[in-house]
Amino acid sequence: MRLLLVEDKDSFRRLLVQALADSPWTVTACGDPAEAIRALEASSFDVLVTDLRLPTFSGLELIQRAKRLQPALRVVLMSAFGEPKDIVEAMRLGADDFLPKPFDLDVFLALLDRLRALVGAPPPDPAEPWVARSPALRALEEGLHAAADLGAPVLFTGEPATGRSRAARRLHTLRTPKGPFLRIPAAELPAGGPEVRLLRLLEGGSLLVTGLDGLAPGAAMALTEAMDATEGRDLRWMATAASEKGLPTPLAARFGALVFRLPSLQERSEDLVPVFTAMLRAEARSEGRPDPLLERSVERELVARAWPGNLKALRDCAHASLQLVEGAVLRRLPPAFSEGPPLQLPWPAPGELDEMLRAVGRAATPALLLRTLEAQGGDVARAAAALGLSVRVLASRLREHGISLEDRDP
């Protein structure tokens, strides 16, 4: 989790950074809002914590500009001089909370814990965009509406990259749109199950465990116990897996009662053109370009292709297609490809051959891990099997190289 801290008082900024030293947050600290804007333009953040009175321009203006750059950013405004009108304006601009200075560090850390649970939450809007024109997706949508009134655990199955996590977010918005939503890869669950403190933070919201079929038996039992605990009964449980048949025994009965299978793109051809168009327009807008139009021949080719990588393959095609847009019209698709781009590595420092080969291996490892994970559609269990590793060892290797599992299961 990445946090951007904006505080012009050096001593107080250092104090807050020190307080977060052993936390899950990776902190970027700035003393000037202009510096913060440059940081937001350069990379993404989960939470912005900013003072109200700042040099150059105010914290309110920073919030407004930050939200334009990163609309999903969670925001905390802090001030010793905050008047009610400032607080109201901050909330109107999208701030999540206000901290009056001086405040206790424990209060600050508890607030960030709560925001950590909220970071994964989809927009609090039951009408969040959701393409469901095909019969298969319309049937799924009807099932999700029916399940919204039920508190039972829900399992989403299907091929990699069919949108299992997206369907879980959709169900969350139908159930409790303003509640916290957290997604945890099964490979990253502690051996003793989710922390009680985390479950309390998610009260009234949803917890999604992805790759449930890759969970070790011991961890499966711990997860079952967490679901039965008092804190576990105060939230909605969801999970993803390739199929219900691969679930560990303790969890099969829990998640096997309410199962939604996500169809492959081949089974929802009516959705191909609108989904691709939405992806292509998102790519264009990220570069400040007008919404492209699709020629009929492009639409026909979209429907004719096989899309073995499902939504990931479609997204990759949309990304490559933007470079082929002429004016505002896409007249052809890039060639279909089953393999990714060539692997490019930096030359090692000159030295003995064995040492140079080891350096090449170290540089290649993260790329190979990512390539394998993407080839398996973000399915950690399948990627681990393909690499000849256990799920836990793969998760450890990914953490070593700073590769997050959170965004690998669409």
Residues 179 and 94 in one domain: no
- Domain boundary at 263, 280, 305, which? 263
Residues 164 and 208 in one domain: yes
Residues 319 and 371 in one domain: no
Residue 314 has which token pair?
A: 């479609």
Nearest to 244 by CA among 236, 234, 254: 254
Q: What residues are paired with 59 via a beta bridge?
A: none
Distances from the Cα of 245 to the Cα of 157, 167, 212, 269, angstroms: 10, 20, 11, 27
For 35-150, strand residue ranges (E) read 47-51, 74-79, 97-100
Is the Cα dihedral 280, 166, 194, 250 positive or negative? negative
Residue type, 324: L
CATH number at residue 106: 3.40.50.2300
Residues 97 and 140 in one domain: no
Q: Where are the alpha helices (DSSP H) in 176-322?
A: 196-201, 217-228, 249-255, 272-286, 296-304, 310-321
Residue 139 lies in a domain: yes
Which pLDDT value is given to residue 63? 93
Residues 258 and 272 in one domain: no
Residue 379 lies in a domain: yes
Q: Which domain holds residue 291?
A: 266-330
Residues 259 and 294 in one domain: no
Residue 343 lies in a domain: no
Residue 220 has which token pair?
A: 């499966």
Query: 């961890």: which residue's tokens?
Result: 219
CA distance 261 to 243: 8
CATH number at residue 302: 1.10.8.60
CA distance 181 to 120: 5
Along the 410 residues of the chain, how does pLDDT read in single tens digits?
Answer: 899 999 999 999 999 999 998 888 999 999 999 999 999 998 889 899 999 999 989 999 999 999 888 877 889 999 887 678 888 888 888 888 899 888 889 999 988 887 877 766 554 444 456 788 999 999 999 999 999 999 899 999 999 889 999 899 899 988 887 788 888 888 888 888 888 888 888 888 899 999 998 887 788 999 999 999 999 999 999 999 999 987 888 899 899 889 999 999 999 999 999 999 999 998 898 888 899 999 999 999 999 998 988 998 898 899 999 999 998 999 999 987 655 556 778 888 888 998 888 888 888 888 888 878 777 767 777 788 788 887 778 877 887 877 766 545 56
Residue 341 lies in a domain: no
Domain count, the chain: 4
Residue 82 lies in a domain: yes
Residues 283 and 382 in one domain: no
Residue 163 lies in a domain: yes
- Full DSSP string of 370-397: HHHHHHTTT-HHHHHHHHT--HHHHHHH
- Domain boundary at 231, 263, 295, which? 263
Residue 269 has which token pair?
A: 């051809």
Residues 101 and 146 in one domain: no
- Full DSSP string of 256-293: SSSEEEEPPGGG-GGGHHHHHHHHHHHHHHHTT-PPPE
CB hemisphere CA count around 161 (13 angstroms): 20
Nearest to 320 by CA among 279, 374, 274, 366: 279
Residues 155 and 213 in one domain: yes
Which pLDDT value is given to residue 292? 94
Residue 123 lies in a domain: no
- Domain boundary at 263, 286, 305, which? 263
Residues 106 and 32 in one domain: yes
Contact 36, 65 (CB under 8 A): no
CA distance 232 to 166: 22
Residue 348 lies in a domain: no
> The pTM is what?
0.67
Residues 246 and 275 in one domain: no
Residues 283 and 168 in one domain: no
Nearest to 188 by CA among 405, 361, 342: 405
